[in-house]
Amino acid sequence: MQNSSVVISAWDGEHLVSLARGLDDKETIGFIHYLLVDSDYQGLHIGDTLMKKIMEKYDKLLHVKVMPSDPHTIKFYEKYGFKQFDKYSALEKTNM
């Protein structure tokens, strides 16, 4: 986590329940490396909260990308303006 550009976490006491990590060049492009939510805490909008916070950090960048490891999560990212392009596995959001 030390060399990450952005790390946002959610805790239940001492138990880490969610983590979002981003990498960026501080000028034009950001990459959401992952957004994880403990399965016992899914459905509580924790991922939504962390996603909104990381997108606030990236609202001035020209491009933000994410590469979902699970195709079922594509709809989640689409809610935040990400789009999937043909023959390209990452989803991208352009802030213009």
Q: What is the pLDDT of residues 46-95, one digit of tens each?
A: 999 999 999 999 999 999 999 888 888 889 999 999 988 766 666 777 77
**Residue 55: predicted pLDDT:** 93
Nearest to 92 by CA among 4, 48, 32: 32
Q: What is the pTM of this model?
A: 0.81
Q: Looking at the predicted structure, is the pLDDT value of residue 3 above 70?
A: yes
Q: What is the mean pLDDT of residues 20-31?
A: 94
Which SS3 state, helix, strand or coil, does residue 75 take?
A: helix
Domains of the chain: 6-94 (3.40.630.30)
